[in-house]
């Protein structure tokens, strides 16, 4: 008996228990058998256990180098270090599917443990939906894409991981991104349950708030790591190329961002019910579409590590998901007509509507650009490519408007804002933007688009910081020191101020994108001999020679260069190339990235000849470090919003009981309205 046999058995058992959960949950609710409904919780945990067992079995097969398992032989070799051998787990399609199904089971288990907080009637349907998705994945795993399938003869050594994947990024980016894709299932399950039970008030939204924040944050982290990986591995000096697979990961992120904003409108005002359901379902459908696209290879992409014939299965699943949710929509539509109460366009909810329009517009444009090659291939029999210039031209104006809206939004109150107070609050940020527009040309930023972009970013950043400052002053006037006041703002109003951090991070990220796309410089050297040099942006690079390192499984060619600036030796750098013996045609790069004052000097060894000749490509990328800083800030903000606030709710509920009459805010009456007026 091999570990792989154990894995197969575990998969079949998980499949059985997943099917049982669906049947038991639905029957238990219909025939009102509490015992049956209760049993579904246990069976979900059982599914999780068996998935854990399957994962452990595959991991054990990898670590014991059981090359009789075809997948292990394809993805790993004896020469690989143990951490890459373990990471090869999700290096190919079969393993990444198993990982996906496993994470879904883990999230389902977490839901089971936290299900006391979810509306009670919805729980069985949520579990049934989650296990429905799980069933699909396990079914694919045991039928067409079995990672435990054994080959007839077991080879002495495996092929090894694709060299592009042999990188520290491999340890983090794929698991996070796959987890992000998977995590959209939980809000989707809630949406399905809300539609089936007809409990379409704000309760289910409150219950998924933290789930959707978690998916958003995980997906953001996955996207950011992907960009960083591309930047330091691929050698073209950029971090985002609008590749179909990158787009696929961006699409659900965009709709989830839209949802996180529009959900606040429903929580506060009871509006946009249908829209919120649509966004949640669309996020899930887009995440399945993304996987379909990655795995089927219908659209060519740099991520072509794992093509296969399971595209058809995904497509069928996608169709089922869309039909099922549209059917539920049609079934519940009469109940979804809430009376809308909208006081003024000049309000927080007004800006959120604009935000949603823009984000959904971006989603559609990206989706359209991604599938356009297919459309042309179908209608005019020739594949028209859609590349970065298209996306840049479509997304840039939308992003500019989005950032302006981001700056104006926090200045507006819910319900309505007087025009006078809006002008007053706009003064400081607008002055900042004008100052930015005036000063930048003096420093040589003469590109008009870059100037518009930077000014808009200055406006929004100032609006955020000013808002933060005023919040601090309010608390300060209650007798708190400024530092304490700042801490208390974040401690107490996490959602609000965490959101500001995310916005500031996005502004920083956009500044980085503008900087690197309008002010990048590039030089290719001719073949340099030892002692020759090249210059870029004031830096002089002197080539000294090549070092060749032979390993068991690879050989590494490293060029040695000096960076000089202003007549001073700054540092030695060692860009290089690695050629793995199993993949001689795919040399990977060791790129030397040197950050000087918010700009990267990106040095890439493009060719070499013996020990004394090399061809070097150098990119000077201004402001790229801001992309990473901004991204990290966004993730911190996301975690800040997500972080549980058990203390506060308990304390404030106690207070609410003690002093029910003390409420002077309009918010309370509004909340009651949401509870009372919109409940169906």
Partner 1 sequence: MMGARARGSIGSYWRPLCIVLATVLIMVAVWFWLAFVMPRHETLDQRVRDVASQLRCPVCQGESVEDSSASIAQQMRSVIREQLQQGRSEQEVIQYFASRYGEQNIVWAPPWHGFSILAWLVPMTLLLGGAFLLLFVVRDWLRRSYFPSSQSESREPAEIPERSNEQHDDGAWEIYRAQVEKELAAEDVLFQPNVMEGS
Interactions with partner 1, residue window 292-311 (CB under 8 A): 300-302, 304
Among 78, 149, 236, 549, which residue sits at the site for partner 1 (rule: CB under 8 A)? 236
- Among the listed residues 180, 238, 512, 515, the single contact to partner 1 using CB under 8 A: 238
CA distances for 641 relative to 170, 216, 272, 328, angstroms: 28, 11, 22, 31
Nearer to partner 1, 304 or 581 (CB): 304
Question: Nearest-5° angle of CA 432, CA 265, CA 424?
Answer: 30
390 binds partner 1 (CB under 8 A): yes
CB-facing half-sphere around the CA of 674: CA atoms within 13 A: 22
Residue 79 CB, shortest distance to partner 1, in Å, is 27
Asked if 477 touches partner 1 (CB under 8 A), the answer is yes
Q: Measured from the CB atom, is 12 or 495 closer to partner 1?
A: 495
Structure tokens at 394: 């479509």
**Complex with partner 1: residue 550 or 669, whichever CB lies closer:** 669
Compute the distance between CA of residue 137 and CA of residue 426 in angstroms, rounded to an integer: 51
- Choosing from 63, 311, 374, 496, the residue that interacts with partner 1 (CB under 8 A) is 496
DSSP, res 69: B
d(CA 180, CA 213): 11
| 379 belongs to the binding site for partner 1 (CB under 8 A) | yes
Choose, by CB under 8 A, the member of 32, 382, 550, 585 that binds partner 1: 382
Residues 6+ apart with CB under 8 A from 194: 122, 200, 204, 277
Cα(255)–Cα(365) distance, integer angstroms: 12
* CB 521 to partner 1: min, Å: 7
Q: Using the minimum distance from each CB to partner 1, give the nearer residue, 496 or 540.
A: 496
Bridging pattern class, strands 554-565 and 539-550: antiparallel
Q: Does 662 bind partner 1 (CB under 8 A)?
A: yes
Nearer to partner 1, 196 or 489 (CB): 489
In contact, 462 and 427? CB cutoff 8 Å: no
Specify the residue for token string 């373990």: 86
Interacting residues of 176 by C-beta distance below 8 A, sequence separation 6+: 218, 221, 222, 225
- Among 235, 505, 512, 625, the residue binding partner 1 under the rule CB under 8 A is 235
Tokens 């496993």: give the residue.
102
The reply on whether position 324 binds partner 1 by CB under 8 A is no
Secondary structure (3-state) at 672: helix
How many residues of this chain interact with partner 1, rule: CB under 8 A? 98
What is the Cα 6 distance to its own chain's centre?
34
Residue 659 within binding range of partner 1, rule CB under 8 A = yes
Least distance (Å) between residue 313 CB and partner 1? 26
Is the CB of 68 or the CB of 388 nearer to partner 1?
Answer: 388
Q: Is 521 in the site for partner 1 (CB under 8 A)?
A: yes
Q: H/E element holding 399?
A: helix 388-408
Residue 28 or 429: the one with the smaller Cβ distance to partner 1 is 429
| 380 lies in the site for partner 1, by CB under 8 A | yes
Distances (CA, A) of 337 to 200, 246, 258, 270: 11, 37, 21, 11
**Interface residue with partner 1, options 495, 530, 553, 582 (CB under 8 A):** 495
User: Which of 131, 294 has the CB closer to partner 1?
Assistant: 294
Element housing 490 (H / E): helix 482-492
* Minimal distance, residue 667 CB to partner 1, in Å: 3
- Of 320 and 650, nearer to partner 1 (C-beta) is 650
Within residues 3-62, the interface with partner 1 by CB under 8 A covers none
| Alpha carbon distances (Å) from 15 to 56, 182, 355, 390 | 17, 18, 41, 44
Q: Does 585 bind partner 1 (CB under 8 A)?
A: no
Instruction: For tokens 């939004």, name the residue.
Output: 409
Note whether 361 binds partner 1 by CB under 8 A.
yes
Q: Give yes or no for residue 386 binding partner 1 (CB under 8 A).
A: yes
Place of tokens 């359901």: 277
Stretch of 18-26, 168-176, 490-498, 578-586 contacting partner 1, by CB under 8 A: 490-498
| Smaller CB separation from partner 1, 252 or 350 | 350
Position among 124, 160, 163, 369 found at the interface with partner 1 (CB under 8 A) = 369
Question: In whole angstroms, how close is the CB of 315 to partner 1 at the nearest point?
Answer: 22
Q: What is the separation, in whole angstroms, between the first and last Cα of the chain?
A: 56
Q: Which of residues 64-123 bind partner 1 (CB under 8 A)?
A: none
- Residue 344 within binding range of partner 1, rule CB under 8 A: yes
CB of 631 to partner 1, least distance (A): 21
Among 199, 308, 542, 606, binds partner 1 (CB under 8 A): 606
In sequence order, what are the beta bridge partners of 539? 536, 565
Angle, CA of 393, 396 and 397, to the nearest 5°: 95
Residues in Cβ contact with 567 at an 8 Å cutoff, skipping those fewer than 6 apart: none
- Interaction residues for partner 1, span 627-656 (CB under 8 A): 648, 651-652, 655-656
Query: Minimal distance in Å, beta carbon 94 to partner 1?
Result: 23
Complex with partner 1: residue 287 or 517, whichever CB lies closer? 517
User: Which of helix, strand or coil describes residue 64?
Assistant: coil
Report which of 134, 126, 139, 135 is spatially closest to residue 25, judged by C-alpha positions: 126
Say whether residue 413 binds partner 1 (CB under 8 A): yes
Task: Render 536-567 in DSSP notation, one character per residue.
Answer: ETTEEEEEEEEEEEE-SSEEEEEEEEEEEETT
Instruction: Give the number of other CB atoms < 10 A from CB of residue 568.
Output: 7
470 is a contact residue toward partner 1 (CB under 8 A): yes
String of contacts with partner 1 for each residue 418-457, x by CB under 8 A: x-xx-xxxxx--xx-xx--xx--x----xxx--xx--x--
Q: In whole angstroms, how close is the CB of 322 to partner 1 at the nearest point?
A: 18
């Amino acid at each position: 008996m091999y570990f792989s046999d154990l894995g197969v058995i575990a998969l079949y058992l998980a499949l059985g228990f997943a099917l049982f959960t669906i049947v038991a949950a639905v029957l238990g609710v219909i025939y009102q058998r509490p015992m049956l409904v209760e049993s579904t919780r246990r069976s979900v945990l059982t599914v999780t256990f068996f998935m854990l067992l399957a994962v452990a079995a595959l991991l054990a097969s990898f670590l014991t180098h059981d090359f009789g398992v075809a997948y292990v032989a394809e993805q790993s070799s004896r020469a690989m270090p143990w951490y890459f051998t373990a990471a090869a787990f999700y290096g190919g399609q079969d393993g990444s599917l198993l990982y996906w199904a496993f994470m879904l089971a883990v999230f389902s288990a977490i839901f089971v443990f936290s299900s006391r907080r979810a509306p009670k009637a919805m729980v069985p349907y949520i579990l049934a939906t989650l296990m429905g998705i799980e069933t699909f994945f396990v079914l694919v795993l045991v039928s067409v894409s079995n990672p435990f399938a054994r080959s007839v003869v077991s080879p002495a050594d495996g092929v090894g991981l694709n060299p592009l994947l042999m990188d520290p990024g491999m340890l983090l980016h794929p698991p996070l991104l796959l987890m992000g894709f998977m995590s959209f299932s939980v809000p989707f399950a809630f949406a399905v349950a809300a539609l089936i039970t007809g409990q379409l008030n704000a309760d289910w939204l409150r219950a998924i708030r933290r789930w959707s924040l978690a998916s958003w944050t995980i997906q953001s982290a996955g996207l950011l790591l992907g960009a960083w990986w591309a930047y330091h591995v691929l050698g073209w000096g950029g971090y985002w190329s609008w590749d179909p697979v990158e787009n696929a990961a961006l699409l659900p992120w965009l709709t989830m961002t839209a949802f996180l904003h529009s959900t606040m409108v429903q929580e506060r005002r009871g509006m946009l019910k249908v829209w919120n359901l649509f966004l949640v379902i669309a996020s899930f459908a887009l995440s399945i579409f993304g996987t379909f696209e990655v795995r089927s290879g219908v659209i060519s992409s740099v991520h072509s590590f794992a093509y296969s014939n399971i595209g058809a299965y995904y497509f069928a699943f996608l169709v089922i998901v869309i039909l099922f949710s549209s059917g539920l929509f049609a079934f519940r539509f009469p109940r979804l007509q809430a009376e809308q109460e909208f006081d003024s366009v000049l309000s927080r909810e007004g800006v959120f509507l604009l935000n949603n329009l823009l984000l959904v517009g971006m989603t559609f444009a990206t989706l359209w650009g991604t599938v356009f090659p297919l459309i042309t291939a179908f209608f005019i029999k020739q594949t028209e490519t859609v590349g970065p210039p298209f996306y840049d031209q479509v997304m840039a104006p939308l992003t500019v408007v989005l950032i302006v809206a981001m700056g104006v939004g926090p200045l507006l109150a819910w319900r309505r804002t007087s025009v006078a107070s809006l002008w007053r609050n706009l003064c400081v940020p607008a002055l900042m933007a004008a100052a930015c527009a005036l000063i930048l040309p003096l420093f040589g930023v003469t590109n008009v688009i870059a100037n518009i972009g930077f000014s808009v970013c200055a406006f929004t950043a100032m609006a955020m910081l000013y808002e933060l400052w005023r919040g601090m002053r309010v608390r300060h006037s209650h007798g708190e020191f400024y530092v304490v006041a700042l801490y208390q703002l974040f401690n107490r109003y996490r959602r609000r101020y965490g959101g500001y951090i995310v916005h500031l991070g996005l502004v920083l990220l956009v500044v980085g994108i503008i900087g690197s796309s309008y002010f990048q410089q590039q030089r290719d050297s001719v073949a340099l001999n030892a002692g020759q040099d090249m210059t870029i942006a004031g830096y002089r690079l002197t080539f000294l020679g090549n070092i060749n390192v032979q390993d068991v499984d690879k050989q590494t060619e490293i060029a040695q260069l000096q960076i000089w600036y202003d007549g001073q030796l700054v540092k030695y750098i060692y860009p290089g190339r690695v050629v793995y013996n199993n993949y001689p045609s795919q040399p990977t790069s060791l790129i030397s990235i040197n950050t000087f004052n918010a700009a990267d000097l990106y040095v890439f060894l493009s060719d070499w000849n013996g020990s004394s000749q090399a061809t070097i490509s150098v990119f000077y990328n201004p402001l790229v470090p801001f992309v990473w800083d901004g991204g990290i800030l966004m993730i911190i903000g996301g975690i800040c919003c997500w972080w549980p606030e058990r203390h506060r709710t308990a304390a404030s509920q106690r207070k609410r009981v003690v002093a029910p009459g003390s409420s002077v805010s309009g918010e309370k009456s509004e909340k009651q309205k949401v509870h009372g007026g919109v409940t169906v």
